[in-house]
């Protein structure tokens, strides 16, 4: 789907995810919205990258950034990027994927992680969904963590994981929702 044109003074909000393929490559997907709650979706984008670096502890961003670049290439006026993972990995600010994406793309980035990371004691737990008791762990780069957590609470969807992130995950795995 081709993105809708962005109005002057507007911008798009993006939720993105990356899936690693058995072939050694990756597929990145992005869901674009007109609002921060992702209540009005504009488009989906998918990009395949033939090869990615192998996983290296502490350097996940080196593996994840090239597919994110591929899926965001040519997209202007990004106001916010939401990624599956952590923005920073500890209270001291050790950069995670979100911090590296913030530096790379120059936009605020919210990290939404489904599992706790032992050193990320600063992450704001957010419980969403009618039947969920397990929190998401929210961190941010380029904006206050509490504002990011409030935004994640308000994102569209009645499940634990906001609909935009669920859709990005499904598209990256090549399953449309």
Give the count of domains, the chain. Answer: 1
pTM score of the predicted model: 0.90
* Tens-place pLDDT, residues 118-154: 999 999 999 998 788 899 999 999 999 999 999 999 9
Distance, CA of 3 to CA of 1 (rounded, Å): 6
Look at residue 28 and tell me if it is in a domain. yes
* Tens-place pLDDT, residues 1-16: 333 333 445 799 999 9
Distance, CA of 157 to CA of 37 (rounded, Å): 9
Q: Residue 146 sits in which domain range?
A: 12-172
Q: What is the CATH number of the domain that holds 130?
A: 3.30.2170.10
HSE-up (13 A, CA, CB side) for residue 129: 14
Look at residue 31 and tell me if it is in a domain. yes
Question: What is the pLDDT, as a whole number, of residue 56?
Answer: 75
Look at residue 4 and tell me if it is in a domain. no
């Amino acid at each position: 789907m081709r993105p809708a044109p962005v109005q002057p003074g507007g911008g798009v909000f993006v939720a993105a995810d990356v899936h690693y393929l058995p072939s050694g490559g990756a597929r990145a997907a992005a869901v674009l919205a007109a609002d921060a709650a992702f209540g009005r979706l504009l488009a989906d984008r998918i990009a395949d990258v033939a090869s990615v670096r192998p996983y290296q502890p502490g350097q996940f961003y080196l593996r994840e950034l090239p597919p994110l670049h591929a899926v965001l290439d040519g997209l202007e006026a990004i106001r916010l990027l939401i990624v599956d993972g952590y923005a920073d990995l500890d209270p001291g600010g050790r950069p995670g994927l979100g911090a590296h994406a913030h530096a790379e793309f120059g936009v605020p980035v919210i990290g939404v992680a489904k599992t706790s990371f032992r050193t990320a004691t600063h992450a704001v737990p957010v419980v969403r969904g009618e039947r969920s008791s397990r929190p998401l762990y929210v961190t941010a780069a380029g904006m206050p963590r509490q504002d990011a957590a409030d935004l994640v609470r308000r994102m569209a969807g009645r499940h634990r994981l906001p609909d935009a992130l669920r859709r990005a995950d499904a598209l990256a795995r090549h399953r449309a929702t």
